[in-house]
Amino acid sequence: MKKIIFIFLTFSSLSFCHKVNIFTYKEGDKIFVEGYFSDGKPCKNSLIEIYNEKKEKIVEGKTDENGIFSFNIPDAQKIKIVLIADMGHKTEEEIELEKKIEKRQDLIVEKIISGDEIKKIVEESVEKAINPILKEFERERKKAKITDIIGGIGYIFGILGIFLYFRGRSSEWKK
């Protein structure tokens, strides 16, 4: 009986510790994907697959030693990013993309910056500055919390209790 409880506790805590998360952000013409486990460790050398809205694989690669993979923004409306880490851990995220606007040098006539260009420059600067903060916030939000672990252990004890209850009742009927 003690062995069964020990095995349930061991596997429940391990399942919370190795949940895989991804954080995605855009910088310029690239999308960055950071893979990490719930304890904050990066997903090193993990497979990244990018699919378009037609479910066609358009990009494939591996994360670096910091768990980061980047790729050029594809010409698609929506993409699905799939991260496959070691020991079968897998997570995915879908992202809506803005349409690419081609920059044409021959359209520049004057050196006067329009309001739209200023707005775009400010948005890109703010996006670049806020991405590290968003990344850290997302990591903290997705970390396994003690309440999650205790809740998981509680579920296991509940299931174990129900199992033992019915096992005890079935042995009473046999008498």
Please report, for the domain that includes residue 47, its CATH number: 2.60.40.10
Predicted local confidence at residue 80, as pLDDT? 93
For the sheet containing 78-84, what is the strand order? Answer: 57-62, 47-51, 78-84, 90-96
CA–CA gap between residue 144 and residue 167 (Å, rounded): 33
Phi, psi of 77 (to 5 degrees): -80, -35
Q: Where are the beta strands (DSSP E) in the chain?
A: 20-27, 30-37, 47-51, 57-62, 68-72, 78-84, 90-96
Confidence at residue 111, expressed as pLDDT on a 0 to 100 scale: 53
Distance (Å, rounded) from C-alpha 36 to C-alpha 80? Answer: 18
Q: Residue 2: pLDDT above 70?
A: no
Q: Which helix (H) or strand (E) holds 98?
A: none
- Residue-averaged pLDDT of the chain: 79
Q: Quick one: average pLDDT of 70-86?
A: 90
Inside any domain, residue 50: yes
User: Cα 69 from chain centroid?
Assistant: 13
Please give the Cα distance from 109 to 25 (Å, whole number): 33
In terms of residue numbers, what domain contains 104? 20-109
- pLDDT, mean of residues 75-97: 88
pLDDT surpassing 80 at residue 98: no
- Looking at residues 76-87, what average pLDDT do you find? 89
Q: How high is the pLDDT of residue 109?
A: 46
Of 110-119, 149-158, 165-174, highest mean pLDDT: 149-158
Report residue 99 as tokens.
Answer: 């349409």
* Residue 33, in any domain of the structure: yes
Length of the chain in residues, anyone? 175
Burial 108-119 (b: 16+ CB within 10 A, else e): eeeeeeeeeeee
In a domain, 79, yes or no: yes
Does residue 144 belong to any structural domain of this protein? no
Q: 23-47, pLDDT tens digit by residue?
A: 888 888 889 999 888 888 888 999 9
- Answer whether residue 103 is part of any domain: yes
Domain assignment present for 52? yes
In a domain, residue 75? The reply is yes
Count of domains for the chain: 1
What pTM did the predictor assign? 0.54
- For residue 56, give both structure tokens: 């066609």
Does residue 30 sit within a domain? yes
d(CA 62, CA 106): 38
Confidence bin at 70 (pLDDT 50/70/90): very high
pLDDT exceeds cutoff 60 at 5 = no
Q: Which amino acid is at 49?
A: E
* Neighbour-count burial of 167, counting CB atoms closer than 10 A to its CB (0-12 exposed, 13-18 middle, 19+ buried): exposed
Model confidence band, residue 48 (pLDDT cutoffs 50, 70, 90): very high
* Residue 165 pLDDT exceeds 80: yes
